[in-house]
């Protein structure tokens, strides 16, 4: 059975380790048998009766074979002793007990005779030697890692927040890895019963109120948050404290990572915007939203811009009855025209050059094509440029929106979507102020017109998109 175990190992290094472990077990079994007899006769080899010695020698090969099979059945050759825990320890104890019982029964059935106390002594010798052989490897690695970490020129002084299962696993991996230079110096946990105790030799200094003080005391450079079960609201509050420390922040994702031993250093990630929301992010089913444009006549202003061109691509993929693209800048709109013609040759596509400032031009486009949906993305958006040309920002953004919105209402458009910006929130610049005026225009028109007017704010980060609807 142990031979199959060795052959089943594809990794040559693992095969060598298991082979050496089996050789060690064979040696320990022989030593344990003879040592048990020596103890029985008070360490006087001359007092050992010859029949006892012959019985032990004759049964030793059988005992070795049975013991190795028992160890294999208890998965002692498949365990990762680097990460050995209570389960592996229990399996080792049970396998040694079963081995001693098999030896007792086997020798009795084969007519071999040994002192009754021998079997208990054999177990008492066998068990610690087996434990020493397996757990010494782990202890040696821990010692070597400690020496390695202590001698690092610039170790990353690390704080772990969370003294639960996830935090324990993270600290274990940091302590046992030669590829990481992190040195965990303290642990934070809100459980008051854990304060002033130690986790794997690392002091638990207290709750979150101790974070900033501990950072200064231990000169912490990196903070690892290992509480995957923490609600978003609590996570946000914790991150608000940690950000004042000036340390690099990393966080363990979700509770599902605890399943199947998925908690590891590889799962750690940088803190993201979603972690600061204080709530679960709202996931939008973009596909179902865009299906609304299917078989509809759609007009996109500013279709050559960054947002406008992406709107064109997304809408074109959902088969509108007609897609009209309007832009004043011919180069970019030409590029998107050629791209859509190549990707969707059968689509009814119209590309027009015109300015939203031109009331007559916009009105004629609406009268001719009668769009049902309008995405108004035409705008001056560069903040520094608009600060130097505020009149252009007002004329293009404000009056262009007013002209387009009026034309949409007068020509029976069903829905008008304004592409706004997060800079319209408490605006501090001309561009943001002009877009806020645009939002106010469509909000007002929405109360007086049959057309449904909607504003969507785009920010520098997608998670901060806001939808305003009055």
Residue 172 pLDDT more than 60? yes
Confidence band (pLDDT; 50, 70, 90) for 462?
Answer: very low
Q: Decide which of 353 and 422 is more confident.
A: 353
Cα(147)–Cα(140) distance, integer angstroms = 11
At residue 328, the pLDDT reads 92
126 and 208 inside one domain: no
218 and 309 inside one domain: no
Confidence band (pLDDT; 50, 70, 90) for 289?
Answer: low
147 is a domain residue? no
88 and 162 inside one domain: no
Q: Which domain holds residue 202?
A: 152-276
- Report the domain count for the chain: 3
Mark 418-435 as b/e (b = at least 16 C-beta within 10 Å): bbbbebbbeeeebbbbbb
* 44 class by beta-carbon count within 10 Å (0-12 exposed, 13-18 middle, 19+ buried): exposed
DSSP state of 67: H
% pLDDT > 90, the chain: 38
Q: Which of 89-98, 206-215, 281-290 has the lowest mean pLDDT?
A: 281-290
Residue 32: how many CB atoms within 10 A of its CB?
Answer: 25
133 and 175 inside one domain: no
DSSP H/E element including 204: strand 202-206
293 and 271 inside one domain: no
Average pLDDT in the chain: 82
At residue 468, the pLDDT reads 35
At residue 242, the pLDDT reads 87
**Residue in 267, 381, 423, 435 annotated catalytic:** 423
145 is a domain residue? no
Contacts of 137 (CB under 8 A, 6+ apart): 81, 82
At residue 288, the pLDDT reads 58
pLDDT per residue over 51-87, tens digit each? 888 888 888 999 999 999 998 888 887 765 555 567 7
Q: Which residue has the tokens 């420390």?
A: 245
Query: Is residue 423 among the annotated active site residues?
Result: yes
pLDDT per residue over 231-287, tens digit each? 777 888 888 888 888 888 888 765 444 444 444 545 556 665 555 555 555 555 555
Of the candidates 115, 138, 161, which is a domain's last residue? Answer: 138
At residue 174, the pLDDT reads 79
406 and 328 inside one domain: yes
% pLDDT > 70, the chain: 80
Confidence band (pLDDT; 50, 70, 90) for 90?
Answer: confident
Q: Which of 12-16, 19-23, 209-213, 452-456 has the lowest mean pLDDT?
A: 12-16
């Amino acid at each position: 059975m142990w031979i199959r175990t060795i052959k089943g190992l594809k990794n040559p290094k693992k095969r060598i380790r298991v082979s050496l472990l089996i050789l060690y077990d064979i040696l320990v079994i022989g030593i344990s048998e003879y040592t048990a007899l020596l103890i029985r006769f008070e360490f006087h080899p001359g007092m050992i009766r010859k029949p006892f010695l012959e019985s032990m020698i004759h049964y030793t090969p059988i005992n070795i074979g049975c013991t190795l099979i028992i160890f294999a059945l208890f998965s002692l050759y498949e365990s990762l002793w680097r990460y050995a825990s209570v389960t592996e320890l229990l399996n080792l104890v049970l396998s040694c007990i079963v081995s001693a019982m098999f030896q007792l029964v086997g020798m009795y059935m084969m007519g071999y005779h040994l002192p009754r106390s021998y079997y208990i002594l054999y177990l008492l010798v066998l068990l610690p030697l087996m434990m020493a052989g397996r757990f010494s490897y782990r202890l040696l690695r821990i010692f070597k890692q400690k020496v390695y970490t202590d001698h690092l020129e610039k170790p990353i002084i690390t704080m772990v927040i969370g003294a639960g299962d996830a935090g324990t696993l993270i600290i274990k991996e940091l302590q046992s890895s030669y590829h990481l230079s992190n040195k965990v110096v303290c642990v934070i946990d809100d459980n008051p019963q854990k304060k002033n105790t130690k986790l794997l030799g690392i002091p638990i200094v207290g709750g979150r109120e101790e974070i900033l003080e501990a950072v200064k005391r231990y000169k912490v450079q990196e903070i690892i948050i290992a509480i995957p079960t923490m609600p978003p609201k609590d996570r946000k509050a914790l991150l608000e404290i940690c950000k004042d420390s000036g340390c690099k922040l990393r966080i363990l994702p979700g509770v599902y990572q605890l399943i199947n031993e998925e908690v590891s250093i590889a799962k750690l990630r940088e803190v993201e915007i979603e972690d600061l929301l204080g709530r679960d992010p709202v996931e939008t089913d973009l596909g179902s939203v865009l299906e609304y444009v299917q078989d509809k006549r759609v007009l996109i202003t500013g279709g050559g811009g960054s947002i406008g061109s992406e709107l064109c691509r997304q809408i074109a993929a959902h088969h509108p009855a007609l897609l009209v693209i309007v832009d004043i800048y011919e180069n970019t709109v030409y590029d998107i025209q050629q791209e859509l013609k190549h990707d969707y040759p059968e689509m009814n596509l119209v590309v027009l050059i015109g300015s939203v400032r031109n009331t007559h031009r916009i009105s004629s486009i609406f009268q001719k094509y009668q769009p049902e949906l309008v995405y108004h993305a035409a705008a001056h958006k560069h903040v520094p440029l608009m600060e130097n040309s505020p009149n252009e920002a007002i004329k293009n953004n404000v009056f262009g929106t007013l002209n387009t919105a009026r034309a949409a209402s007068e020509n029976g458009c069903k829905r008008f979507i304004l592409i706004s910006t997060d800079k319209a929130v408490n605006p501090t610049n001309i561009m943001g102020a002009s877009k806020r005026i645009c939002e106010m225009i469509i909000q007002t028109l929405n109360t007086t017109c049959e057309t449904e007017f909607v504003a969507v704010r785009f920010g520098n980060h997608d998670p901060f998109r806001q939808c305003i609807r009055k």
